[in-house]
Structure 1
């Protein structure tokens, strides 16, 4: 795998070196970003004051605090583009920046992560980097991208202004956030393109086991208003948290010998200028290659199977009454009954959001009502006890520039 990767890198470097350059292309610099905050309340009044659930797992991704004004994320994004190249430096700060970039930090949010092989100081400034990559367009159809970039998996993203709903789906929360690596994209025509790449697995700045993951995305555009994305990521031994359990002795060595695959379908259809439909479906699976019957029994006892899986589906629809006010609905079913991801239960949710756009599109207010129903007593009540359901009502305040 490493020899093949090195060969591909050398081939790509040679191609770039032989390509003609244009010294007259000065390029253009752009600056953008946003800041967001929110206030919400939970009708079940969780004793802990957050929405993580009774076991403090991952009931919600970013909007976690109740009955207080809370800061989400502050972004400063710089982009530089020329005829042949693009560069993006995307810096984020605040609580949601740390949660969304937890693989680059060493602290209470991810105490299980191993220290960087280059020293603990690496995680200081790296925690502010959400994305840092450049793209070279070798031809109008072929491009190469290198660096740290947001994942291609899923429907939603970290950036609050780009999502219709403020609270994030469990599909988003339990999938990858970002990758570090190399990818190439080729546009066959205006309707079909393909991306393939090699990355340092999921949400990890440094590759702790030298096993790379492969990524792919096939983009189809049957209609000008309809786009379909078929996404995939797969690798061997690419779960840093699971690897840490093996190295600490909490799991036997056989549980460290596994592969992991995630398949994802995302599609969006602008039915009319005001009416929109979207869908996201994902299925992931581990395959443990244990060395003995005892290890097989142990892994089966912990995960319920030597091939535990997870996945779900989310449906989206929204309608714009005018340029200022809209109404959107999201229904989601997510299943992690084998506890191989963060949610560790089965859950259904319904989210209703009515965004208001003010200040020439710069200011977004997102009132939101969300109801969750879990298969187990996952959520928390005022006594700190587990309950199956949770209803929240809140509003997000977002300013983008």
Structure 2
């Protein structure tokens, strides 16, 4: 504005001078001194008026800025915080490469600075920490009208003809910031709703699951200054076995695959990731067990894997997991010493010592900015006994198969997603029945705004044997067709996938 005013003033002055020069060229006699003085005074008056206008404009800007800061403090603090988070993410990616646990549905836009919810709920904390909130609910309908409205083999959409709360979450996240001297971080995810029954273990695989039921994740992080960075996590975290993850907003479909429902949901222990270079990271875990916050035996499970990004459009993960899931103790009632509830145990002798081996691999290809493809393949083999005695069995049970995903972003608000899957369950490790399972899922997504989306979904599961419930007692069917509408709300300072 000031430059325009000065330009206007100089132009006016130049025009006036040119008029004087022109008059001088056409007039023989020079102008009288009185006219020149009058012209100079006019220019001075114009300069004073321009200065007064500039002062008034600056005063109005100050008043507007004060009003905005009073009414919308969150909107003003989000922009610099976003810059800080971007630098933190850049440092984290250069110092370590954690294994992605989700299919990124779309690159998440920065937090909506104009969101009225963001202005009410705290999302930014001192020191760069963020608070994040999510609500995920659905209505599903099974065309088989099953008894009890129960859907088989579903992880989250477990009920038919019911308005359901899948989950409500509160996430506290403080990422390491090596560039600014902070090598540590911490994350806590609190979860409530139906999903806690799916994700948390039960007494069959850990003695006291209920005391951890609402703690989906809780771990601390430290970046060791070794090479390009060695990231070490200690605590309980969401498993990266399998391509899908917990938070619906970051997935292609609303429902989850068979393999998401079968592979471990979480581990507890020590997790490391070493970044070799910009294209390769090596991963190693030592944990209590599969879906075990507390162990049910003395064996410690391990994972060996890598994350590779040969090009900017391709991301590949490979994991090998070795574990032992069979308990070496069971609940008892004859303890004389005081112990916490659930810790009165007696030994199982002999205890099964068979191992579980999981080979898991998935790759994502961002074909275009709007089109993404993903493939997942898994092979699992488990034995009850490693060295069988008379009356015991070392016969293996197998689960193997894969899934394919595609997503196309029609517009900034609309997207289409699809998934097809095959799972061979020999020995009934997953479903309790030897069968070949298939499913197809088609999803339409509409994003009302940053922090609110809805998905309409049709899914059909089918098997080579009658397995799924019907509305007739004792009568099973070989397929399970469902229609679901899911809605997800979220707000928080954390950008990208959660």
TM over 0.5: yes
Q: 1:294 aligns with which of 368, 375, 391?
A: 391
Question: Which residue number in structure 2 is paired with residue 383 of structure 1?
Answer: 472
Q: What are the superposed Cα offsets for residues 151-197 of structure 1, whole Å, 9 maximum, x if unpaired?
A: 12001012111111111101110110000001211111110000111
* Aligned residue number for residue 133 of structure 1: 219
Partner secondary structure for residue 197 of structure 1: strand
Larger helix fraction of residues: 2
User: Kindly tell me: are residues 217 and 95 of structure 1, through their superposed partners in 2, closer, same or farther at Cα, counting changes over 3 Å?
Assistant: same
Q: Which residue of 1 aligns with 2:286?
A: 198
For residues 88 and 46 of structure 1, do their structure 2 counterparts lie closer, same or farther at Cα, with a shift above 3 Å needed?
A: same
Distance 2:388 2:380 in 1: 23
Matches within 5 A, 1:346-361: 346-359=436-449, 361=450
Give structure 1 stretches of 5+ with no counterpart.
Answer: 1-25, 53-58, 104-109, 117-122, 246-251, 300-305
* CA deviation map 1:346-398 (0-9, x unaligned): 21000000111112x21110100001111211101111311001110111011
Residues 292-331 of structure 1: pairs in structure 2 closer than 5 A: 292-296=389-393, 306-331=395-420
Q: Which moved more, 1:222-231 or 1:158-167?
A: 158-167
- What is the SS of the residue equivalent to 1:198? strand
- Contact between 2:467 and 2:477, CA under 8 Å: does it hold in 1? yes
Equivalent residue runs for 1:96-135 within 5 Å: 96-101=195-200, 103=201, 110-113=202-205, 115-116=207-208, 123-135=209-221
C-alpha distance in structure 2 between counterparts of 1:221 and 1:114, whole Å: 36
- Is there any run of 5+ residues in structure 2 with no aligned partner, and where? 1-125, 178-182, 332-347, 492-498
Distance 2:133 2:467 in 1: 35
Q: How does 1:2-401 map to 2 (within 5 A)?
A: 27-52=127-152, 59-83=153-177, 84-101=183-200, 103=201, 110-113=202-205, 115-116=207-208, 123-139=209-225, 140-235=228-323, 237-240=324-327, 256-287=352-383, 288-296=385-393, 306-342=395-431, 344=433, 345-359=435-449, 361-384=450-473, 385-401=475-491
Between the aligned partners of 1:376 and 1:211, the Cα distance in structure 2 is 36
**Greater Cα radius of gyration, structure 1 or 2:** 2
Alpha-carbon distance, 1:115 to partner: 3.3
Aligned-residue CA RMSD (Å): 2.0
Give distance in 2, aligned partners of 1:209 and 1:326: 46
Structure with higher strand content? 1
Aligned-partner Cα distance in 1 for 2:486–2:260:
19
Q: 1:153, 1:232 within 8 Å by CA — same for their partners in 2?
A: no
Deviations 1:7-40 (A, max 9, x none): xxxxxxxxxxxxxxxxxxx831101131111011
* Separation in 1, partners of 2:135, 2:470: 31
SS in 2 for 1:173: helix
- Cα distance in 2, alignment partners of residues 333 and 221 from structure 1: 26
Deviation at 1:254, TM superposition (A): 7.0
* In 2, Cα distance between equivalents of 1:229 and 1:87: 24
Q: 1:73 to 1:290 in 2, by over 3 A?
A: same
State the alpha-carbon separation in 1 of the partners of residues 361 and 206 from structure 2: 32
Residues 44-74 of structure 1 deviation map (CA, whole Å, 9 limit, x = unaligned): 111221102xxxxxx2111011111111000
How many angstroms apart in 2 are the aligned matches of 1:340 and 1:199?
Answer: 21
What TM-score, normalized by structure 2, do the two folds share? 0.65
Query: What is the distance in 2 between the residues matched to 1:187 and 1:281?
Result: 24
Q: Distance in 2 between matches of 1:366 and 1:238?
A: 36
Q: CA deviation at 1:112?
A: 3.1
Tell me, in whole angstroms, the C-alpha distance in 1 between the residues paired with 2:241 and 2:213. Answer: 21
The TM-score with structure 1 as length reference comes to 0.80
Distance 1:253 1:383, change over 3 A: farther
Distance in 1 separating the partners of 2:165 and 2:295: 31
CA drift at 1:198: 0.4
Deviations, residues 239-285 of structure 1 (Å, cap 9, x unaligned): 45x9869xxxxxx9778121111010011111000111001111011
Distance 1:157 1:244, change over 3 A: farther
